[in-house]
Amino acid sequence: MEKTRLISWVSRSIATGRLGAVVAKLGISTALLSSFTNNTAVVVSLIGAIKRNQRHAPSKLLIPLSYAAILGGTLTLIGTSTNLIINSFVEDVGLPTLDSSSLLGLV
């Protein structure tokens, strides 16, 4: 997955700018990607892009990457395995299944 065009495009577009802009772009793209795919796979795919970034130290980008992946994963039912496990527990007790609005706390 790391060698796909999408990941290389994201890594090129993330690497430009000041540290605050890079962290913001990294966070938004990571949260978006991890809401539809496994957050561990997104982090692993973007670690290479962070290592190749010569403008900013990887130590300043890895924790924001991890937090953004966790946030993105909790926004959808398929984003993280924890949501799937909780959803199965909810179904077992006879309650309605979780959806995006209940995961976001809107219900």
Does pLDDT of 2 surpass 60? no
72-82 pLDDT, tens digit per residue, is 888 877 777 77
Does pLDDT of 107 surpass 70? no
- The pTM for the full model equals 0.74
Say how far apart CA 101 and CA 96 lie, in whole Å: 13
Number of Cβ within a 10 Å radius of residue 101: 9
Say how far apart CA 89 and CA 70 lie, in whole Å: 21
- Per-residue confidence (pLDDT) for residue 76, from 0 to 100: 79
More confident residue, 4 or 46: 46
Q: What is the DSSP letter of 58?
A: G
Does pLDDT of 12 surpass 80? no
- Per-residue confidence (pLDDT) for residue 103, from 0 to 100: 56
> Domain limits of the chain?
5-103
